[in-house]
Structure 1
Amino acid sequence: MKLLVVDECGYTRLGIASYLADNAANTVTGCDTLSAAVQHLSSDNPSHILLNLTHYCRPNLDNPWLQTLIDSSNNAVLFIYLDAPYPYGDRPMRIADNAFLFNKAALPKALRILRDTPHSLMENSLHSLFSPQELTVMKHWMAEVPNYRIARKLQISSHTVYVHKRHITEKINARNRLEFYSLYNILRYFYPPDAPAVRMAG
């Protein structure tokens, strides 16, 4: 396994490298910024990338380095973690074809997976956390379109829109709308608002 660790904390990078050092087949490269990570992609060709994206949950602006990293990592498995209590759960949650998301408290379990069975979570190559209609509801929801207008656009009831919103929040293991808003700042890189909702449902 060739692992690229992206975390601004040097102690975290060192701890991860030390944990995986027992296996001579593992190589671990660490960097503290997304721009440095992008530069490592072509030279190191990592099979797995471990990313701390805590700071990217807050701004609602596109980060070109993060977009480039994601777009250039189709052949790698992304493990994204956040220094937050959400998404709730004790193991990585698959959010897209090659991406998993988890809170930092689940990092020890994620590291055990990377050490022992790094490919165990990739059962299918195509995966979407949301149905096409949920993706459409999410796009309008994040654009602050009222429920009744979303219902009219999709020719469904306002109650169905509400149910979709609840299911979307539950699927990402968030407990309320504010937590989902934070997580959406990561999700939108995998489910761009301007992309057609035609991904495989899984």
Structure 2
Amino acid sequence: MKKDILKTAVELFLTYGFKSVTMDDIANALGMSKKTIYQYFENKTVLVEESVMYLFQTISSGIEDIRDLEKNPIEEIFEIKRFLMKNLKDEKSSPQYQLEKYYPKIFKDIKERQFCVMEDCVTCNLERGVKMGLYRKDINVDFVSKIYFTCMMALKDKELFPLDNFSMQTLMNNYLEYHLRGICTSNGIELIDNYLKINQN
């Protein structure tokens, strides 16, 4: 039952935002009373915190599964992007903004966890890419991994990138191509071009 509540809460939070969704909304979506939800979660803040952690663990596990496939580093990045877009539902409601504004402690904690996971993922990706001759040997791996995380977070800033002007899909596609073309060798550029030709409309 608790897992069902978390799944539904995550779905609603991502679709409508952490502030916008009420306990009544979640109860109605599940076809149960609020009293039942409160048996598992003391209040909305607790539910938000556990929902965020549930989503984080789901995404972290999915990223690890993709990394275990040991695809070439360029294809791996695009596969992770596709997985994130599927699980974050295009983030049309600006959930990150609402989480940061209304639940700052939860936001700070999850951002630190996200950074640890992404830094490890990106660092390994960069190091593999250099060894395979797809990324330039002269890149500063530590710098690039930190810039990558910072820019990915910035894409979700709706003041910088209003939803009316930029879809998350477009932002992610443009940023990944920007990122990769800045660090790739000629062999890597050729691989990007082939991948985009086959997989992008």
Return the structure number with greater helix share.
2
Which structure has the greater CA radius of gyration?
2
* TM-score, shorter chain, exceeding 0.5: no
Q: Which has the higher contact order (CA 8 A, sep 6+)?
A: 2
- Which TM-score band (shorter chain)? under 0.3
Return the structure number with greater strand share.
1
What TM-score, normalized to structure 2? 0.25
